[in-house]
């Protein structure tokens, strides 16, 4: 199942991680929520293959360990989401459709 494109209206911010918002629910290790806002990665959908980090021309992703998550033990973290140039390369290449880029005004 891909990222919920309406997550900003359907979910609440439950915490912050490395300077970006985390949208719940979070029940670690099974549910890790959506990380980021303008560059959002659903950690419960992310398969951790790193293609987003590979194709991003501004290197905004860090791969972080997520031990014991049922889908994968690492996730793409939008650590520098403010650097996004909205090229959509990561969103288009993500095999799990776990990324949603929301244009900034």
At 43-59, the pLDDT tens digits run 999 999 999 999 999 99
> Quick one: pLDDT at residue 1?
87
- C-alpha span between 8 and 29 (Å, rounded): 22
> Is there a contact between 65 and 20 (Cβ–Cβ < 8 Å)?
no
CA nearest neighbour of 63 among 90, 85, 82 = 90
**pTM of the predicted protein model:** 0.96
From first CA to last CA, the distance across the chain in angstroms is 28
Q: Rg (Cα) of the chain, in Å, rounded?
A: 12
Below-50 pLDDT ranges, the chain: none
């Amino acid at each position: 199942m891909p990222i919920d494109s309406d997550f900003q209206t359907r979910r609440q911010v439950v915490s912050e991680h490395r300077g970006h918002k985390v949208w719940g629910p979070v029940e670690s290790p099974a549910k890790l929520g959506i990380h980021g806002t303008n560059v959002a990665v659903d950690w419960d959908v992310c398969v951790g293959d790193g293609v987003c980090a590979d194709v991003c021309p501004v290197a905004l992703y860090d791969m972080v360990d997520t031990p014991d998550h049922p889908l994968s033990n690492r996730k793409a973290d939008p650590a520098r989401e403010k650097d996004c140039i909205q090229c959509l390369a990561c969103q288009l290449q993500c095999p799990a459709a776990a990324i949603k880029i929301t244009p900034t005004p």
